[in-house]
């Protein structure tokens, strides 16, 4: 566990705000109280090879369609479960990236951009195919820009799994993963305990509503309407996620999709940020330093909650440490004199 790590990129060590003394306050306060920063976003629809689509939200020169300065970083953002470009952490990072003169783009997982996707499937914690497709697109379209990928929560799990699968051939320059559910089975168990059941209830409302909407539109068989009444993640993953995405069961899905088993294959410089008090995961499910290769920097803090890490002296002077740490890490990797993309 790191309490006050020295950061060569100049980032101050994380100090939790005294007025957010618990992991639940660190998790919930930014989600409900933060005023989203304004940043111009331009949406682009990407048609996928299987006939489905996903939406990209761009922030940058001319909404990401203009020419960026040669060598200026391009930052791809992956949101968490049921997130979008309106999630506080995603919008905050896109605004920070835009303010620094970089180009940011958020990839919405299928069905998360406000419109149901077309196929009788969705997205899940181990689905790396769409990420690979978008990275390939960005590399072809912006060959002169170094590429960083930042994933939060579920998006972080997808990112780490993909980096481990692709190893040295991963066509990105650096990565950051935040508040990752490294062990999906352990995360499902944790979200059935104590106040963490609130997060499960909140996310399940969104997931089951999405299933009911797709049944009503004829995208999913009517049998899934009953499955949408699943009371918890494990039941939902057994009845919905697993059969729709080729897994034998929830246990099969968790085992094959948890990023912890893929960490040893990562060869791209990667920063992992996590809090011991994350209410989505037990400390025992967080990997140790002996589980990550030399390309990975693992920073585990005592406090921070789930995608929280809020500091500052007062609520009206909140400091969004995650955005500072993430962009400083990317800048140190990609904008040093003499640095170049892969």
| Candidate list 85, 125, 153, 329, residue with the active-site label | 153
**69: which DSSP letter?**
P
Annotated active-site residue 232? The verdict is no
| Most distant pair of Cα atoms in the chain: their distance | 58
d(Cα 109, Cα 131) in Å, to the nearest integer? 9
**Are 121 and 110 spatial neighbours (Cβ–Cβ below 8 Å)?**
yes
In 3D space, the residue among 254, 250, 294, 292 whose CA is nearest the CA of residue 274 turns out to be: 292
| CB of 109 closer than 8 Å to CB of 54 | yes
Sign of the C-alpha dihedral computed for residues 341, 331, 46 and 130 taken in this order? positive
Q: How would you label 113-147 residue by residue, b for 16+ Cβ within 10 Å and e otherwise?
A: beebbbbebbbbbbbbebbebbbeebbeebeebbb
Any idea what the Cα angle at residue 128 is, between residues 126 and 132, rounded to 5°? 170
Under DSSP, the state recorded for 20 is: -
The whole-angstrom separation of Cα 108 and Cα 176 is 17
Residue 133 annotated among the catalytic residues of the structure: no
Return d(Cα 57, Cα 79) in angstroms, integer: 12
Per annotation, catalytic residue among 98, 142, 227, 306: 306
Q: Given 238, 277, 278, 303, which residue is catalytic?
A: 278
Known active-site residue 52: no
The secondary structure element, H or E, covering residue 185 is helix 184-190
Which residues are identified as catalytic? 153, 278, 306
């Amino acid at each position: 566990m790191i309490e006050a790590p020295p950061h060569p990129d100049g980032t101050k060590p994380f100090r939790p705000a005294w007025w957010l003394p618990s992991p639940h306050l660190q998790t919930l306060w930014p989600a409900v109280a933060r005023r989203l920063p304004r940043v111009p976003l331009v949406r682009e629809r990407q048609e996928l090879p299987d006939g489905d689509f996903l939406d990209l939200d761009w922030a940058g020169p001319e909404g990401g369609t203009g020419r960026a300065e040669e060598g200026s970083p391009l930052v791809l953002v992956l949101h968490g479960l049921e997130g979008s470009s309106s999630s506080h952490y995603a919008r905050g990072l896109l605004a920070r990236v835009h303010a620094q003169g970089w180009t940011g783009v958020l990839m919405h997982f299928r069905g998360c951009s406000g419109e149901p996707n077309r196929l009788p499937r969705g997205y899940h914690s181990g689905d790396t195919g769409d990420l690979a497709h978008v990275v390939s697109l960005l590399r072809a379209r912006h060959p002169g820009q170094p590429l960083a990928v930042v994933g939060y929560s579920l998006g972080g799990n997808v990112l780490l799994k993909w980096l481990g699968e692709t190893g040295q051939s991963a066509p990105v320059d650096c990565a950051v993963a935040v508040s990752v559910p490294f062990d999906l089975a352990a995360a499902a168990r944790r979200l059935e305990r104590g106040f963490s059941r609130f997060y499960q209830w909140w996310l399940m409302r969104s997931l089951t509503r999405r299933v009911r909407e797709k049944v009503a539109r004829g995208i999913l068989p009517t049998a899934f309407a009953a499955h949408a009444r699943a009371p918890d993640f494990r039941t939902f993953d057994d009845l919905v996620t697993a059969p729709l995405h080729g897994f034998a069961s929830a246990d099969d899905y968790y085992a094959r999709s948890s990023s912890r088993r893929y960490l040893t294959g990562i060869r791209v410089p990667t920063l992992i940020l996590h809090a011991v008090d994350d209410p989505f995961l037990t400390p025992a499910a967080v990997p140790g330093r002996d589980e990550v290769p030399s390309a990975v920097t693992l920073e585990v803090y005592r406090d921070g909650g789930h995608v929280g890490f809020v500091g500052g002296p007062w609520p009206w002077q909140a400091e969004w440490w995650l955005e500072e740490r993430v962009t400083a890490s990317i800048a140190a990797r990609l904008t040093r004199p003499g640095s170049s993309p892969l």
